[in-house]
Amino acid sequence: MLTLDLHPIFRNNRDIDRSVRAFLFKAYSSGESKAAIIPGKGRGQLRQHVLAYLNQRHMKRFYKRVETDSSNSGRIIVHFT
């Protein structure tokens, strides 16, 4: 499973969006069944930003579903199949 850790770039929304988009394209084209995005726990603002970005219409066509890991709220799992 591919993983993207957003801790190093958490302050810049443009970098976050660019990284998530590139990561999602890479994971989709590689044929992975799922991938993990790690925004961290904190106050949850970064997680909400990533979920809102993934929920946009142009991003939804690349994955089947998105879920927050039940055992770790600081991890988002993106399912492609």
Give the chain's domain count.
Answer: 1
* Domain of residue 20, residue span: 2-79
What are the start-end ranges of the H helices in the chain? Answer: 13-30, 45-54, 57-60
Task: Calculate the CA 17 to chain-centre distance.
Answer: 9
37, 20 contact by CB (below 8 A): yes
Domain containing residue 62: CATH number: 3.30.1370.110
Count CA atoms closer than 13 A to 61's CA, side-chain side.
Answer: 2
pLDDT digits (tens, 9 = 90+) for 21-47: 999 999 999 999 999 999 998 899 999
> CA-CA distance, 38 to 41, in Å (whole number)?
9
Number of neighbouring beta carbons within 10 Å of residue 27: 23
Output the pLDDT for position 26: 96
Output the pTM of the full model. 0.93
Instruction: Name the pLDDT band for 70 (thresholds 50, 70, 90).
Output: very high
